[in-house]
Structures are given as structure tokens and as C-alpha cells.
């Protein structure tokens, strides 16, 4: 599984392009919202994620993790991504 973590303030083109390309390539992609399922991008576009951080586990089969750049880096706390802090 490839995880794409999104947080409020993310750049939607940097978030959605890899999701689109990977899904077209028939890869398993799960879009994860940091702290909630509906994320608001830097241009106020609402993105509904497949899950939120509380619903994923570091014990799952992780093939890759994608963290798109944020418009405002302060909108994400990496401590909320518990398994990223190991």
C-alpha cells in the first residue's frame, strides 16, 4: 500500500497528481488526512481522504509514503503521524 498524507494547506496539484498517476498504474493508494478526512488545500479546495491518521497503522504493508509539500508547514505536526516518529 502507498500512503499519501494530506494536511490543511497542502498544494493540491502536488497531492493529487501522484495519486492519479499511481492509481492509473493500478497501485494500491490510500489517501490519509492528518487529523480529519476532509482537507482544505492552499487554494480552498476540499479533498475527501480515504482515511484519517487514527485509522492507519505502522504494522500495515507500507510500500511507500508520500508527503506533499504544504503551503504552510505549520499546518501539520509530524507527531500526529505516530509511526513516522519512530
| pLDDT profile of the chain (86 residues), mean per 10 | 93 92 96 95 95 86 85 49 45
| Cα(68)–Cα(58) distance, integer angstroms | 19
Give the per-residue pLDDT at 61.
84
| Cα(73)–Cα(28) distance, integer angstroms | 27
Facing residues of 52 across strands? 33
Give the per-residue pLDDT at 17.
94
**Tally of CA atoms within 13 A in the half-sphere of 20 that contains its CB:** 6
The whole-model pTM stands at: 0.78
Q: Residue 40 in contact with residue 46, Cβ under 8 Å?
A: yes
Give the per-residue pLDDT at 70.
64
Give the per-residue pLDDT at 68.
87
Give the per-residue pLDDT at 52.
95
Q: Which residues contact 14 (CB under 8 A, 6 or more apart)?
A: 68, 69
| Cα(75)–Cα(62) distance, integer angstroms | 24
Amino acid at each position: 500500500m502507498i500512503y499519501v498524507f494530506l494536511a490543511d494547506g497542502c498544494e493540491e496539484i502536488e497531492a493529487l497528481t501522484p495519486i492519479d498517476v499511481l492509481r492509473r498504474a493500478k497501485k494500491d493508494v490510500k489517501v490519509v488526512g492528518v487529523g480529519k478526512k476532509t482537507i482544505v488545500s492552499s487554494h480552498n479546495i476540499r479533498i475527501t481522504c480515504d482515511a484519517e491518521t487514527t485509522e492507519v497503522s505502522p504494522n500495515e504493508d507500507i510500500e511507500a509514503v508520500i508527503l506533499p509539500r504544504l503551503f504552510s508547514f505549520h499546518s501539520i505536526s509530524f507527531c500526529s503521524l505516530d509511526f513516522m516518529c519512530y
